[in-house]
Chain A
């Protein structure tokens, strides 16, 4: 650190040439982050900053603070006691139990931590206390600098109604809607009808997709009102709701601004954050393919106007919805650092966090609007710990036992708050990391990102890389035809996984065969039993039958000359043996002289191989032809001893229960609400039946795959008849009806706006 600072200092001392400095700044940016401005000007800065946040954003802020020579203080809860941000910071203060409300959201504890460490500034990151005006006021009272806007600006922009009024005053385009709080369900329906469907019901104090529902008819309005108000109360402690016109197929484009305390405001161009699921962004890019210079300029000017009207300082983001005819409407303003800020940093070479520090310190902006250029293209992928095959992402928790970021690829930046061994808990956001790629063109950025996703090793936890990888190679995305409805439009039946071409399938199957063969060879390669090896002919070819999904391939693998020659159906593929290592998580294999990246997740003795290829997970069953033939001979055993298990779709807290034991329910009826990762999920009955047993209480935690409700179904679809020869007739004692436990399915009454 000291060395680095010395270096920086000497650089600024000797370099009088501005141009030269600029080029150096670029080099520094490529290596780490941001410019050399703070050291360059020998500006006064904070002595010690407390980061009132966790995870990747805390790590991100610590990095810039360290570079600026500011000492850093992390805060942590029980669940985070071994977290990365705690290790990175110079000091760390323990602030209580895992639930955020008792730690990261408790400003008494944060204030105590500040006093204890003598920090002179607080960076709130995003989420938690970042947009809480009361917190800012409390800091002001203690004479601590809040790195962000004033309490007044936060409270004015935090309230949807107020922000709309401000926007109108500043001459910003707004969405048609009713400028009032709805008080109850009937009022909500009335207002909705007045505006005309479709409408959006959202929390007045909300943000980030929480407490938002779309309704297309009265029924949905009623449901939406209930859920949105519950979520609003749980999330923000304020259940006031708004209703407004809902715009079909819009893009979500936002303008990043920087404003200092001296009235200077600039915008750093736009970010296109249209790829969303359930109102949460998944892939963002900067710039947007959709904006022409004129629109960009108008949007930028309106954003600046709003900031000036507000007397805003610090970094902020003005979000717009933009329709197909490039009409844009003000959505809301985020008075904080955004999750997706790195893409703007990539294309503008400006370290936004550094600017926030400078602005908070009272410095003038050292960048002029005309200096802000667009350098290439940047794309950010949010890697979440969630299962993309269900509703584009159901949170999953667990421990990451292997973790390797693809930092070896040029132009890749990985902002993460986790490391090998980290645990993703149910208490916080399931964001694992942000993968940012920067290329000269959009095409190049996409290519780099694709390669990075293929080389990203995350083991032990389900993640959404398959979905991200598929979107990046999808035609509409590649040509830039995206909207906030992108995911449900492209995947109307939910994400099912990448569909491989025939050639790709052959590659995958051939590699699986080669891995199997390597494993077979290795199982005979005993270091201290060489006598047997000599005597036995080591098999040099294998006849295999490999099942991929529903397809069965017959594969011949032969070993020779440093290659595995694989015959898949009638096609020959040659795989270089050098790349194969069964213990390595990431394999770069040469197949017919083309390089492809594969990952082995797991393998076992009975031929279950779990591989990642092109970002997607594939479960392959590899059997020798002889085993396969025998498989065909055996009659399948009746599943008489196994019972279908009813499982909870994810880990979470049971928020409410709307059924009782013995009650008969109809299909689609709400059974309970499960809160997980700060989201409320409605669980509905999969079919008609009676509730046999409820295995939890309200307020109890349930874990994924735990049985939660037993439903007995007296209807005929589950009629199961057992043959006479059945050895175990126990389960059919009560006539031919079998009581089954049926897996409930998760029913998201949530849509993407």
Chain B
């Protein structure tokens, strides 16, 4: 093009015209240059920290920030924001090292056809460290997610604060935390830890509703192995300290873990399908192919004839829900209680169930906290709760009492009592004492409470009851039998109206589906308040 101008230029005599042409040439060159620059910057941004860094990321068994988004979103649906933002730091010669978009990719896309806001930290740029610009980008999409009413998913892979920026980086963290807190209970927030996440950064995932991790590559800790070594002289690897195994089994920080990036992202897509867009939108109802008006015979045979024999509560859950699909939350932590999402006639429900196979299904500190948090999430997002009860009580013990089983157990009572969503309860076997009250009982505003014929609602087991009531008497055995006769059945509770009906186990699925339909329009509000004072 320039050639063309030059040729014309030769034959032009008039000066003013000459000037005009020169100017034209200059502006044209400029816009072309800008266009090319944009293209180049985009190209740069797409490459993140460069090919070498990308390869390194792959060698670690990880995908890059953009690859992750590409896999997570529906095809061609991702819309990126702030691709050209660059960090503002000038110290330590940082002004010479700039990357388009800095160390995070943000935007929105569709997951199974529904919008989701996403940020994905880019470990190829300064190790994914958080600069003030990085934080601003995240806050921008969070603001929009909040106003639109769509979930935010964070794919974390960051070395921590951008040390070169100093306090500005810390301020960035604080901004994110603040936004996380404000968005809490308004839109679902999910964190998937796909690399390191250390120091102050850990609090953002901890505040979000769910934290998932990738095995072997992800770790979460406040102070790393090096600091621990220098301070306490303890040797520990980063995986032992804060790997997925640690957080899903011991600490309960993470809600689940997956084998690798692909596995994790595909599972996360599945997980998203259970969630509503926000606290204002309805719970998704997927087309249901599974029959929901017929008996499920297997339910009749799961409870063993011996009342002390364990059984697997997951068998019952699988038989009740659609297509035996159950997304378990924290499957490896506090296994004496099962929580997770499933569908009933296509509608998402939250399931809380005691697991008699582990520790007789009793409630202890960890189980109470695990269930309480889940109940509150469901309540916040209008997800109906189904509680399957087989609980012999709260776990007795010095250790439990000394660690505050009272205040932790109170969390579960609080959560259930506060919840205004439809609450359906099925007592499959034991429902003893305080644990009975806690487990979505009629007394805590349970909407529908059923008992199976094997149900026993009592203050405590017959043996302990008899030994208290008839201390020192010789015919304790006889009296125990009397107590069994009187209370080891669902009648006392049914006579008082504390359970609505005694049902055949095989009819449970269709009854619950019918009740959920009925309760769709349930209206119940708690008195207005700033917020309750939950026993944290």
- A interface residues with partner B (beta carbon < 8 Å): 78, 81-82, 399-402, 419-423, 522-529, 532-533, 536, 538-539, 581-584, 602, 604-607, 623, 626-627, 630-631, 633-638, 640-641, 725, 727-730
Question: What per-residue 1/0 map shows which CB atoms of B230-247 lie under 8 Å from chain A?
Answer: 000000011110010100
- Say whether A421 contacts B299, CB under 8 Å: yes
Q: Pick from B258-266, B397-405, B475-483 the stretch touching chain A.
A: B258-266
Q: Which of A421, A532, A606 contacts B298 (CB 8 A)?
A: A421
Question: Given A630-B262, A728-B239, is A527 in contact with B285 using a C-beta cutoff of 8 Å?
Answer: yes
Q: List 7 A-B contacts (CB under 8 A).
A: A522-B287, A527-B346, A583-B290, A627-B262, A635-B60, A636-B61, A641-B243
Question: Given A606-B263, A630-B63, A637-B61, is A82 in contact with B238 using a C-beta cutoff of 8 Å?
Answer: no
Q: How far is the CB of B142 from chain A (nearest CB, A)?
A: 21
Q: How far is the CB of B283 from chain A (nearest CB, A)?
A: 8
- Residues of B contacting A422 in the complex (Cβ-Cβ under 8 angstroms): 301
- Residues of A contacting B267 in the complex (Cβ-Cβ under 8 angstroms): 605-606
Question: Given A539-B75, A631-B262, is A523 in contact with B112 using a C-beta cutoff of 8 Å?
Answer: yes
Ordered nearest first, which 6 A-B pairs have the shortest CB separation?
Answer: A605-B270, A421-B298, A583-B289, A421-B301, A583-B290, A524-B113
Q: How far is the CB of B273 from chain A (nearest CB, A)?
A: 6
- Say whether B58 contacts A633, CB under 8 Å: yes
Is B300's beta carbon under 8 Å from chain A?
Answer: yes
Q: Give 4 A-B pairs besides A627-B71, A630-B261, A730-B240 with Cβ atoms closer than 8 angstroms.
A: A528-B282, A529-B284, A606-B270, A729-B237
- Say whether B260 contacts A637, CB under 8 Å: yes
Q: How far is the CB of A506 from chain B (nearest CB, A)?
A: 25
Q: Pick from B179-187, B318-326, B509-517 the stretch touching chain A.
A: B318-326
Question: Given A539-B75, A630-B63, is A420 in contact with B297 using a C-beta cutoff of 8 Å?
Answer: yes
Docked CA distance A81–B300 (Å): 12
Question: Given A524-B113, A526-B285, is A727 in contact with B298 using a C-beta cutoff of 8 Å?
Answer: no
Q: Which of A401, A532, A635, A727 contacts B58 (CB 8 A)?
A: A635
- Say whether A606 contacts B61, CB under 8 Å: no
- Residues of B contacting A402 in the complex (Cβ-Cβ under 8 angstroms): 298
- Say whether B289 contacts A727, CB under 8 Å: no
- Say whether B300 contacts A527, CB under 8 Å: no
Docked CA distance A634–B215 (Å): 14
**Chain B residue at minimal CB-CB distance from A602:** B324
Q: How far is the CB of A165 from chain B (nearest CB, A)?
A: 48
- Say whether A526 contacts B269, CB under 8 Å: no
Q: Which of B239, B277, B297, B299 contacts A641 (CB 8 A)?
A: B239
- B interface residues with partner A (beta carbon < 8 Å): 58-63, 67, 70-71, 74-75, 77, 110, 112-115, 215-217, 237-240, 243, 245, 260-263, 266-267, 269-270, 273, 277, 281-282, 284-291, 297-302, 305-306, 315, 318-319, 322-324, 346
Question: Given A528-B284, A584-B289, is A637 in contact with B217 using a C-beta cutoff of 8 Å?
Answer: yes
Docked CA distance A636–B75 (Å): 25
**Chain B residue at minimal CB-CB distance from A82:** B301
- Say whether A583 contacts B286, CB under 8 Å: no
Question: Given A634-B261, A727-B238, is A421 in contact with B61 using a C-beta cutoff of 8 Å?
Answer: no
Q: Which of B59, B114, B260, B300 contacts A82 (CB 8 A)?
A: B300
Docked CA distance A583–B319 (Å): 13
- Say whether A630 contacts B318, CB under 8 Å: no
- Residues of A contacting B217 in the complex (Cβ-Cβ under 8 angstroms): 637
- Residues of A contacting B290 in the complex (Cβ-Cβ under 8 angstroms): 583
Question: Given A401-B315, A526-B285, A536-B74, is A633 in contact with B67 using a C-beta cutoff of 8 Å?
Answer: yes
Question: Given A532-B113, A641-B245, is A582 in contact with B323 using a C-beta cutoff of 8 Å?
Answer: yes
- Residues of B contacting A630 in the complex (Cβ-Cβ under 8 angstroms): 63, 67, 71, 261-262
Docked CA distance A422–B262 (Å): 38
Docked CA distance A677–B184 (Å): 55
Docked CA distance A399–B269 (Å): 31
Q: How far is the CB of B483 from chain A (nearest CB, A)?
A: 24
Q: Which of B62, B75, B302 contacts A399 (CB 8 A)?
A: B302
Docked CA distance A81–B454 (Å): 14
Q: Which of A526, A539, A581 contacts B284 (CB 8 A)?
A: A526
- Say whether A527 contacts B299, CB under 8 Å: no
**Chain A residue at minimal CB-CB distance from B75:** A539
- Say whether B298 contacts A528, CB under 8 Å: no
Docked CA distance A627–B288 (Å): 27
Q: Which of B240, B297, B306 contacts A419 (CB 8 A)?
A: B297
Question: Given A419-B297, A605-B266, A633-B63, is A527 in contact with B302 using a C-beta cutoff of 8 Å?
Answer: no
Docked CA distance A52–B323 (Å): 39
Docked CA distance A78–B308 (Å): 13
- Residues of A contacting B302 in the complex (Cβ-Cβ under 8 angstroms): 399, 421
Q: Which of B63, B71, B298, B305 contacts A78 (CB 8 A)?
A: B305
Which of B70, B71, B281, B298 counts the most A-chain CB atoms under 10 A from its CB? B298
- Residues of B contacting A582 in the complex (Cβ-Cβ under 8 angstroms): 289, 323
- Residues of B contacting A727 in the complex (Cβ-Cβ under 8 angstroms): 216, 237-239
- Residues of A contacting B323 in the complex (Cβ-Cβ under 8 angstroms): 582-583
Q: How far is the CB of A543 from chain B (nearest CB, A)?
A: 10
**Chain A residue at minimal CB-CB distance from B264:** A606
Q: How far is the CB of A181 from chain B (nearest CB, A)?
A: 44
Which of A81, A82, A523, A532 counts the most B-chain CB atoms under 10 A from its CB? A523
Docked CA distance A752–B108 (Å): 65
Q: How far is the CB of B321 from chain A (nearest CB, A)?
A: 11
- Say whether B286 contacts A526, CB under 8 Å: yes
- Residues of A contacting B67 in the complex (Cβ-Cβ under 8 angstroms): 630, 633
- Residues of B contacting A538 in the complex (Cβ-Cβ under 8 angstroms): 113
- Residues of A contacting B60 in the complex (Cβ-Cβ under 8 angstroms): 635
- Residues of B contacting A634 in the complex (Cβ-Cβ under 8 angstroms): 58, 61-63, 260-262
Q: How far is the CB of B324 from chain A (nearest CB, A)?
A: 8
**Chain B residue at minimal CB-CB distance from A633:** B58
- Say whether B110 contacts A423, CB under 8 Å: no
Question: Given A420-B297, A422-B301, A526-B286, is A536 in contact with B113 using a C-beta cutoff of 8 Å?
Answer: yes
- Residues of A contacting B285 in the complex (Cβ-Cβ under 8 angstroms): 526-528
Docked CA distance A581–B291 (Å): 11
Docked CA distance A730–B241 (Å): 12
Question: Given A522-B287, A526-B285, A727-B239, is A401 in contact with B346 using a C-beta cutoff of 8 Å?
Answer: no
Docked CA distance A150–B260 (Å): 68
**Chain B residue at minimal CB-CB distance from A522:** B287
- Say whether B243 contacts A583, CB under 8 Å: no
- Say whether A523 contacts B301, CB under 8 Å: no
Docked CA distance A525–B112 (Å): 9
- Say whether B322 contacts A529, CB under 8 Å: no
**Chain A residue at minimal CB-CB distance from B292:** A583
Docked CA distance A604–B327 (Å): 10
- Residues of B contacting A527 in the complex (Cβ-Cβ under 8 angstroms): 285-287, 346
**Chain A residue at minimal CB-CB distance from B277:** A529
Docked CA distance A527–B263 (Å): 28
- Say whether B298 contacts A626, CB under 8 Å: no
- Residues of B contacting A725 in the complex (Cβ-Cβ under 8 angstroms): 59
- Residues of B contacting A421 in the complex (Cβ-Cβ under 8 angstroms): 297-302
Q: How far is the CB of A538 from chain B (nearest CB, A)?
A: 8
- Say whether A525 contacts B287, CB under 8 Å: yes
Q: How far is the CB of B248 from chain A (nearest CB, A)?
A: 13
- Residues of B contacting A640 in the complex (Cβ-Cβ under 8 angstroms): 216
Which of A422, A533, A630, A641 counts the most B-chain CB atoms under 10 A from its CB? A630
- Residues of B contacting A78 in the complex (Cβ-Cβ under 8 angstroms): 305-306
Which of B67, B290, B301, B305 counts the most A-chain CB atoms under 10 A from its CB? B301
- Residues of B contacting A605 in the complex (Cβ-Cβ under 8 angstroms): 266-267, 269-270
- Say whether B237 contacts A730, CB under 8 Å: yes
- Say whether B300 contacts A583, CB under 8 Å: no
Q: Which of B113, B260, B301 contacts A533 (CB 8 A)?
A: B113
Docked CA distance A630–B243 (Å): 23
- Residues of B contacting A606 in the complex (Cβ-Cβ under 8 angstroms): 262-263, 266-267, 270
- Residues of B contacting A81 in the complex (Cβ-Cβ under 8 angstroms): 305
- Say whether A401 contacts B71, CB under 8 Å: no
Docked CA distance A400–B277 (Å): 38
Docked CA distance A604–B284 (Å): 19
- Say whether A581 contacts B113, CB under 8 Å: no
